[in-house]
């Protein structure tokens, strides 16, 4: 019996990999736990109830935690986390069409989003990015 339940757990894991959304993972964990329980309990009805109860418990406890961790992970990685909101130094005059900044000893193309002109040597804050262009505003 435990082999059949284990196959269901593996199926749920494959579904989770194909359709990401942290939905089928709860069922996979519940199936694996039921496979362990099925070694000691032989009743199909009891195992079905255990699977349903474990699935519901995991759905309301584990899923929100995993979704929160996934959102935090997305916010902490990438170019946005490294540059947006950070201070930099203008190394060239910056306007809507041209300019450059220096941050972390790297040189980036920079632009302003409005008609503001920022002189070389001024401190700026990175407010957005698009590809290799950083959008900045002057820090007062």
CA distance 96 to 109: 11
pTM summary value: 0.51
- The answer on pLDDT for 95 being more than 60 is yes
Domains, in order of start, for the chain: 2-76 (no CATH), 80-138 (2.40.50.140)
SS (H, E, C) 71-139: HHHHHHCHHHHHHCCCEEEECCCECCCCCEEEECCEEEEEEECCCCCECCCCEEEEEEEECCEEEEEEC
**How confident is residue 73, by pLDDT bands cut at 50, 70 and 90?**
low
**How confident is residue 88, by pLDDT bands cut at 50, 70 and 90?**
very high
CA distance 36 to 51: 11
CA distance 136 to 140: 13
CA distance 48 to 122: 67
CB 101 within 8 A of CB 91: yes
pLDDT digits (tens, 9 = 90+) for 105-136: 889 999 998 888 999 999 999 988 888 888 99
Give 101's Cβ-side CA count (13 Å radius): 27
């Amino acid at each position: 019996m435990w082999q059949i339940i284990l196959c269901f757990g593996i199926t749920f894991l494959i579904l989770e990999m194909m359709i990401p959304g942290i939905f089928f993972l709860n069922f996979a964990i519940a199936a694996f736990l039921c496979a362990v329980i099925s070694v000691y309990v032989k009743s199909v009805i009891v195992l079905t109830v255990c699977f349903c109860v474990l699935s519901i418990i995991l759905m309301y406890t584990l899923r929100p935690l995993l979704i929160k961790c996934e959102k935090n992970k997305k916010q902490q990685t990438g170019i946005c986390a490294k540059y947006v909101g950070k201070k930099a130094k203008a190394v060239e005059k910056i306007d809507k069409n041209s300019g450059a900044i220096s941050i972390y000893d790297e040189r980036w193309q920079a632009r302003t989003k409005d008609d503001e002109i920022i002189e070389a040597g001024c401190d700026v804050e990175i407010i957005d990015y698009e590809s290799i262009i950083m959008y900045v505003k002057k820090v007062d």
